[in-house]
Copies of this chain bind each other. A is one copy, B any other.
């Protein structure tokens, strides 16, 4: 019995897995938290580490790209196929991570990777360093089993450093480098799949608008006995703003917010309903005791296909031990809005700004700062390049894949627009991986499946591209 290509890929991956995991752990030790200005140097160190590793992998070009206004750097790498007919693929991921600290409740130091029970625990293990990194071993496996010295596609990688901060400079970056980034297909490796035993391919992501609202009342904290009940309290007004975000049906109550929303079709709702969804298991992953959301929609519809308004942080007044009977001088809100296909970032910002201004009483000043924003995107289920991704995943998992959407946000829509290329998703993370949460991890066997899917994908895309099986 001869060795099939698939088992050759698996053997190659198994052989190189230990060194691959050691390398990934090295990268995860770099606390590349883009939200924390104090860690800008670590984000840069992460970019330089990755560029070096991509060169060592074989990419002839691997560069650290600066962003506008002193933003955080991205990494670009390129490996031409050598075949003039080969399609060009741009893989997208990010090397920055969410904030994390042991004090938040982590079992182990978030920036000191620990392997336990077949999982690697560290901030960024799944979101997104692990999923960027599987492509490095993937392309080596692809070369090893095909006997090629260069990939079957012109392979490009763009790994940004500000995704967890809302990608403030990403649009400008890809516009500035549009020529070098030019691609026929974009592959996003920053999403997940349904479950360990249910491989899926994602077809779209929600967008996001983030803002901070700073409310100012009294010029300083004042005595709640002497003045309370007679002057506006910014903490009260911050709370009233948040309460006014949703109506009694938990629909977002900002006028104009739902303008343009692409509603779910009856067929899409059916497909969602057919997935093996276990609400109590989902609640367990969500660490939550009950569901709550927009009336008239299921949980999956709420997180995949409906826009939301969420309070990520609220603070104002005295927060120390005991009490302090004051009317606080200020209160602050960090809000994020998830957008779905059809919603526009700028129109959403305008709707939020008009709504905030209309809510506040005289005597409360406010400052509204929009931070990151990401457009929503959605790829049709019948797109041929999506079929290549589905086949590569199907070979890796040895079963037919299903389709999902992603409630999170990424810069997929920007890439789609600027590069005028279809955007596809290849990810192996599972809901229990703890993105943005404590004890983030990646399942090592799934990580190996990601390597394997990556190894198959370039041949499949090249083959079907040349047979005209493309949109």
Contact = CB atoms under 8 A, between A and B. Distances in A.
Contacts of A99: 318, 320, 324
A331 B308 contact: no
Given A240-B243, A288-B218, A225 B406 contact: yes
A231 interface: yes
A317 B318 contact: no
A292 B325 contact: no
Given A104-B221, A221-B436, A221-B437, A324 B312 contact: yes
Contacts of A406: 225
A402 interface: no
B37 A321 contact: yes
Q: Report the copy number of this chain in the oligomer.
A: 2
Contacts of A334: 317-319, 323-324
A361 B317 contact: no
| Residue among A212, A223, A242, A245 with the highest chain B CB neighbour number at 10 A | A223
Contacts of A220: 104-105, 287, 437-438
| Residue among A289, A320, A328 with the highest chain B CB neighbour number at 10 A | A289
A288 B227 contact: yes
Contacts of A227: 286, 288, 303, 407
Interface in A277-321: 283, 286-294, 299, 302-303, 306-308, 310-321
A235 to B, nearest CB: 4
Interface in A244-265: 244-246
A165 interface: yes
Give chain A's interface secondary structure class.
loop
Contacts of A372: 323
Contacts of A240: 239, 242-243
A224 B436 contact: yes
A365 to B, nearest CB: 7
Interface of A: 34-37, 98-99, 104-105, 165-166, 206, 208, 210, 212, 217-233, 235-236, 238-246, 283, 286-294, 299, 302-303, 306-308, 310-329, 331-332, 334, 336, 338, 361-363, 365, 371-372, 406-409, 431, 435-438
11 contacts: A34-B322, A37-B322, A208-B325, A224-B308, A226-B435, A227-B407, A236-B311, A310-B325, A312-B325, A323-B372, A324-B334
